[in-house]
Structure 1
């Protein structure tokens, strides 16, 4: 018999109409789309910039890399500031900054000016993902956290595809400057609408604010919840290791298709985009499944994460062992459908195991782990491995990292319920958690 268990001591959605919550999600998600469109539009105009300014590939790579560098360096401190000084105000400032910086890219006359503009794009975008997801999970019931986390994070993939596609169309018909300008205008419109519709007084009504104050009295040092439990550290590390696999396949897939399928650059990009969309759709679907199956047993989030890791390992290992052809591409798509499925459950775990007042910083920590362990490390190590044994052979080894991710999630599962009970410090909820521990054993 399963007992109902509250995933978190605070239901911050109390008093927030569901229609308004979805409006908040739509606007926050729209700005995330704008974030990645502004970031990735550069890739669509690489050939035009190279020809007009006689740039080297290293210079082009630096224009792209400076954004990722700023995001990596500033995510944590800027998220901490947003938690302290107001998330809505901070999100608005971020969106205005990256949109104006993208407009600066459109009017840049030299490489140096473009570099400064891209630097500012990175500063503006650094903490948006972590603070934005903190706002999203705060306006919905806690049993929807995995769904909302997966759906929100998937916006990065959809935005990347849209940015490159829309940027390519605008550049083709109106020139590369209008590709940047189009992204900037879209972002500025949303940035101006955002604070007019999303207001702190409406997303933090009195009932939830009162609950937060009571919880804060029990947790004397909320910032310590970022790292004080073994299960939350497992969520960070497991998520990062699993994104090593998904991030690597996404980055190197166009090259794989070009080298082993003989596809031209545009066709390889189109097929790779479909695979990226499979991954984004999988984030949403796997998050929904997690919320549905874990409503009364929050520890099942870890079990589902383990299943996603091992399932993607099996499918992708089989895919890269198959001969080149359509069956292989279909199997890669299926593997990528669940490869990033841990994003939703991991986001929910982090929200459940950290204090509401530092959720922005908590998601920044998750983002940092995802980048350091997965999205940055995976493509780099795979590239080095490819130089030694070839990209096809390197791809056969990449899915094995999912086994390590599954092991980390398994370790976290053993401590999850006890860590939640310790965070809450609530007698009634502790009894429910004890009951769940009995069911689990």
Structure 2
């Protein structure tokens, strides 16, 4: 394989692995919540605040990461963010107070915002537009797999060796991948964009380009509805991701490891199938309607609602 073909695939592999760790680190704490509650004597409301501060800091930090990436090295910012969230994940094992966990979640939100905001643009500049759908499909498969591994790692190591051990397991690999990321060459920005797009971007300048892009998004109905839909999905999904292992162990009688394994495997299977089939179906329907991707997303959400209601309210014999 030629060097020119090997480089983008290597970069994609490193970024996908970092994305995987991103979601593992984000999920491990959810997997060991009952153990943390027992040691720190905290309420469900206090545990819920951990996710709240994470999302607030994540949301506040994310808009600043894009402009930074437009001016400075994306490779360096991604690596720095990975070093940050991996170090904080590792240090979680040494936390002995609830307020320490609050600080941990605050800092992790900032570190992970840098990666999630910047890495898709890095990936997009590695491949031509004709390949981006498949490439981003591979990149985003790390989300359900990362969630699943986070629950499995937390459930297995937490129940056997204490709740602190999963944070060692989840944190250390991030340092290795962040170091590798520093040696990944930075792709030319917009190298697969048309000449017209490049000239327009250069003529506007950095700040003007940023402001015009924001205004263009605000005036775009498709963006607004997609953002609203994503917000509503995240609202529902967030509660499930945070509380499902606790719910299964507390209300359904599963051991904590069994609860994490059941939920983790379900996410891995469902998320992988949905990512692959949803993308394929959206591409097939795109020739018939421009709203194909929205329709597929809405249909999948509609199917998921009754299934989740059955899972939550049905009791075994």
- Fold equivalence (TM over 0.5): yes
Q: Is this contact kept in 1: 2:149–2:264, CA < 8 A?
A: no
Give the equivalent residue in structure 1 for 2:176: 189
- Residue aligning to 1:416: none
- Superposed CA deviations along residues 32-90 of structure 1, whole A, max 9, x for unmatched, are 11111111111122222222222222332223332222111211112221222221111
Which of 217, 238, 241 is 2:229 aligned to? 241
Matched, 1:96 2:46: no
In the alignment, the residues of structure 2 paired with residue 231 and residue 265 of structure 1 have an alpha-carbon distance, to the nearest angstrom, of 50
Report the 3-state secondary structure (helix = DSSP H, G, I; strand = E; otherwise coil) of the residue aligned with 1:127: helix
- 8 Å CA contact 1:45–1:167 kept in 2: the answer is yes
Displacement of 1:191 after TM fit? 0.7
2:73 paired with 1:86: yes
Partner of 1:304 in structure 2?
292
Equivalent of 2:279 in 284, 287, 291: 287
Asked whether the 8 Å contact 1:144–1:291 carries over to 2, the reply is no
* Mapped contact 2:152–2:264 kept (Cα < 8 A): no
Given the alignment of the two structures, is residue 40 of structure 1 paired with residue 32 of structure 2, yes or no? no
Question: Bigger CA drift: 245-254 or 64-73?
Answer: 245-254
How many residues are matched? 304
CA distance in 2 between counterparts of 1:269 and 1:301 reads 40
- C-alpha distance in 2, partners of 1:304/1:114? 42
| Whole-angstrom distance in 2 between the partners of 1:122 and 1:320 | 28
CA contact (8 A) 1:16 1:205 kept: no
1:186-236 superposed Cα distances (whole Å, 9 cap, x missing partner): 11111111112x111xx2289669957434246564221343268844134
Mapped pair 1:216 → 2:208: no
What is the deviation of 1:137?
A: 1.4
Residues 102 and 121, structure 1, Cα contact 8 Å, conserved in 2: yes
Q: Classify the secondary structure of the residue corresponding to 1:104.
A: helix
1:155 to 142, 145, 158: 142
Question: What is the DSSP-based 3-state SS (H/G/I as helix, E as strand, rest coil) of the residue aligned with 2:291?
Answer: helix
Counterpart-to-counterpart distance in 2, 1:155 and 1:242: 18
Against the structure 1 CA distance between its residues 291 and 136, is the aligned structure 2 distance closer, same or farther, given a 3 Å change threshold? farther
In the other structure, the counterpart of 1:276 is 267
Return the match for 2:12 from 25, 28, 44: 25
Verify the 8 A CA contact 1:104 1:114 in the aligned structure 2: no
Contact 2:152–2:260 (Cα < 8 Å) also in 1: no
The reply on whether 1:315 has 2:317 as its aligned counterpart is: no
Q: Which blocks of at least 5 consecutive residues in structure 2 are unaligned?
A: none
249, 254, 257: which one pairs with 1:264?
254
**Which residue pairs with 1:199 in the alignment?**
185
Distance 1:62 1:139, change over 3 A: same
* 1:162 to partner: Cα distance: 0.9
Task: Kindly indicate whether the alpha-carbon contact (under 8 Å) linking 1:16 and 1:139 is maintained by their aligned counterparts in 2.
Answer: no
Contact 2:32-2:154 at 8 Å conserved across structures: yes
In the alignment, structure 1 segments of 5+ residues that lack a partner are 1-14, 330-390, 393-441
Rounded Cα–Cα distance in structure 2 between residues aligned with 1:117 and 1:185 = 16
Is the contact made by 1:95 and 1:125 (CA closer than 8 Å) also made in structure 2? yes
The structural deviation recorded for 1:238 is 2.2
Q: Secondary structure at the match of 2:216?
A: coil
Q: TM-score, normalised by structure 1?
A: 0.59
Q: 1:271 to 1:102 in 2, by over 3 A?
A: closer
- 1:380-412 per-position Cα deviation (integer Å, ceiling 9, x unaligned): xxxxxxxxxxx76xxxxxxxxxxxxxxxxxxxx
Which of 118, 121, 142 is the equivalent residue of 2:129? Answer: 142
Cα distance in 2 for partners of 1:89, 1:226 equals 25
Per-residue CA distance 1:169-198 (angstroms, 9 max, x = gap): 2223332222111111011111111112x1
- Local SS of the residue matching 1:176: coil
Which is higher, the Rg of structure 1 or of structure 2?
1
Q: Root-mean-square deviation (CA), in Å?
A: 3.7
The question of whether the paired residues in 2 share the 8 Å contact of 1:154 and 1:283 is answered with yes
